[in-house]
Structure 1
Amino acid sequence: MSTRVPIEPQRVDAPLTQSATFLVLSVTSTPSAIKIVRSALAGIDDIAKNVAIRDLNASFACTVGIGSRVWDEVTRLPRPAELHPFPEVKGKKHTAVSTPGDLLFHIRSERRDLNFEFERQLLDILGDSVKVEDETIGFRYFDIRDLLGFVDGTANPVGPAVPASILCTREDDSAGAGGSYIVIQKYVHDLKGWRGLSAEKQEAIIGRTKFDNIELDDASEKEQKAHKQLATVEDAEGNEHDILRDNMPFGSPGKGEFGTYFIGYSRRLWVVEKMLERMFIGVPEGMHDRLLDYSTPLTGTTFFAPSASLMASLDDGDD
């Protein structure tokens, strides 16, 4: 009787920490770029161990995502069924932009210095095989609030629902088994405009109370829906599909920059894409998420986080 080899996922469910670095890279066209990238990804655990050993209580973790453009060359394996570039979502008033990115490193720990050291060692190894598209430093803000003042991530799955919501199974797609789709968007906020709203108007836009995070009643079918309602996705049978958000605030008061880095992990990419359609196009069409009047996305990129087992197999010695 044949037995299935266990698939070890990456730490896509690592806990939210005090600090995170979101590093998006594009692979260059240098002759050795793909080989260097393959070797670096295969050895990512070695870099992580070298950094994490300095403080075992810091909950260090790094999740790697690979984009559609380089998946075939980097992995030399069939691509996950839903993996494709981030599609621009254009509504009547707001647009979810699509931006470049071949590799994502979601680096997080309780200590900023550990994240810094991991990124430094990683980029030393990758050298001129990559170009930095974006580097964003996130931080935990009080009791897991965003810079708009609301608790973020309340709808995340918990316990056994986490792997069921974010990890592809063999039954879903053999090429993606043990992996997870990742969508990232870097939003900047019009904090002055937002603060000009009353707390009641802010709560109506978000769909929760600001102080104690209590969920407000949903709007009716023809009424303007809150962000909470538009970001909830159901299938044709009425089953709700969760994603795991590891969002983090970022910014610089001296530069007047205030933002939220959205990062969503999902077992099914269509769930995140449907959520963005609901937000930017609206339900019904034209009634967009009013949060977008105060939050503008600067980036939009899709990745797939393959299993740790697949990552370790990349450096096979071939040219």
Structure 2
Amino acid sequence: MGGRTPIEPQRVDAPLTSSATFLVLSVKLDDDDAINTVRSTLASVEGLSKNVSIRDLNASFACTVGIGSDAWDRITRQPRPAELHPFREFHGKKHSAIATPGDLLFHIRAQRRDLCFEFERQLLDSLGDAVSVIDETVGFRYFDVRDLLGFVDGTANPVGPAVTESIVVTEQDDAASAGGSYVVVQKYVHDIAAWRKMSTEQQEKVIGRTKLENVELDDAPDGQQQSHKSLATIEDDQGEEHDILRDNMPFGSPGSKEFGTYFIGYSRKLWVTEKMLCRMFIGEPPGMHDRILDFSRPLTGTTFFAPSATQLASLGDS
């Protein structure tokens, strides 16, 4: 029966919700007391989540914790995930994907904003002065899962069994990190005024889908300008397509003229997300960057690894 139990800890494929908080923190990595506080708090995230989720089990509350490359060794004292490294920057002729700091990521989501708020409050109370906030972004669902550019976001996400296959590290991939997932986040702000000056047809060519019906448009011929949809489709050298799971959220304030999208992508293989960003910023072929970047600028870029719930809970062991 639905609504009887909370969502399992560290569920990277938790349901899409109407509200989310993306919290990026730095840790006092040179302070033993701070490290012990962080380890203890991370190990107790499941309990903190239950404190909040029990108030409304139908609200789909979930929290996923990610640990950054610079903090992994000090915090976990466990083998490093095979592909974990700092965010890889990409510098094209016109646009750049920049790297920004971040030791911990908390992807907090629920159908109710107050549950996200309450969890964050209890979490930061527990962490105390062991951490400092680098970025706190509150996201919301916009109409029928659209971004603030007006297009449906996340259509290319895997579904069914393909979700786990796309985002969860296996024993064969990396035994020490099995059950975890690589996470890349970027906070984009949009030039809405410039975007709205284009016709709907022009916007559709940039995105690669129709705006109203969300119907996929044909790919451009090889060597010509590709749409965002095409550039974000990743294949390996054997022609096999690889997916990531996006849980992007709009954010912003009309009064402050801030309009943005918080990109968060989970993947079994970090190289898949990195190749997507390379195609977007460098271009495919090089020089033909993703035209969505002419209207969307990244303010942040950080890579994390979300360990399994068992691995996270083990941080509380002496």
TM-score normalised by L of structure 1: 0.96
CA distance in 2, matches of 1:9, 1:271: 25
- The 8 Å contact of residues 12 and 265 in structure 1, kept in 2 or not, is answered as yes
Query: Structure 2 unaligned runs (5+)?
Result: 1-7
- What's the counterpart of residue 119 of structure 1? 120
1:61 aligns with 2:54: no
List aligned pairs for 1:255-270, cutoff 5 A: 255-270=256-271
CA distance in 2, matches of 1:196, 1:233: 30
CA distance in 2, matches of 1:10, 1:189: 30
**How far did 1:222 drift?**
1.4
The amino acid across from 2:82 in the alignment is A
- The 8 Å contact of residues 9 and 64 in structure 2, kept in 1 or not, is answered as no
- What's the counterpart of residue 291 of structure 2? 290
CA distance in 1, matches of 2:17, 2:317: 34
CA distance in 1, matches of 2:311, 2:31: 24
- The 8 Å contact of residues 59 and 109 in structure 1, kept in 2 or not, is answered as yes
The amino acid across from 1:274 in the alignment is K
- What's the counterpart of residue 15 of structure 2? 15
1:137 aligns with 2:138: yes
- What's the counterpart of residue 5 of structure 2? none
- The 8 Å contact of residues 87 and 99 in structure 2, kept in 1 or not, is answered as yes
CA distance in 1, matches of 2:32, 2:284: 48
CA distance in 2, matches of 1:31, 1:170: 32
List aligned pairs for 1:169-248, cutoff 5 A: 169-248=170-249
1:304 aligns with 2:305: yes
The amino acid across from 2:245 in the alignment is L
**How far did 1:176 drift?**
1.4
1:164 aligns with 2:143: no
- What's the counterpart of residue 46 of structure 1? 47
1:80 aligns with 2:81: yes
The amino acid across from 1:38 in the alignment is R
- The 8 Å contact of residues 9 and 63 in structure 2, kept in 1 or not, is answered as no
The runs of at least 4 aligned residues of structure 1 exceeding 6 Å deviation read: none
- The 8 Å contact of residues 9 and 306 in structure 1, kept in 2 or not, is answered as no
CA distance in 2, matches of 1:55, 1:9: 16
- What's the counterpart of residue 4 of structure 1? none
The DSSP-based 3-state class of the residue aligned with 1:271 is helix
CA distance in 2, matches of 1:163, 1:38: 27
1:147 aligns with 2:167: no
Percent of residue pairs identical: 73
TM-score normalised by L of structure 2: 0.96
1:89 aligns with 2:90: yes
CA distance in 2, matches of 1:30, 1:125: 16
- The 8 Å contact of residues 147 and 259 in structure 1, kept in 2 or not, is answered as yes
CA distance in 1, matches of 2:314, 2:278: 36
**How far did 1:9 drift?**
7.3
**How far did 1:30 drift?**
3.4
- The 8 Å contact of residues 44 and 313 in structure 2, kept in 1 or not, is answered as yes
**How far did 1:230 drift?**
0.3
**How far did 1:31 drift?**
3.6
Kindly report the root-mean-square deviation, in angstroms, between the aligned alpha carbons of the 2 structures: 0.9
- The 8 Å contact of residues 9 and 46 in structure 2, kept in 1 or not, is answered as no
Query: Structure 1 unaligned runs (5+)?
Result: 1-7
The amino acid across from 1:73 in the alignment is R
1:117-137 CA-to-partner distances (Å, cap 9, x unmatched) read 000000001011001000000
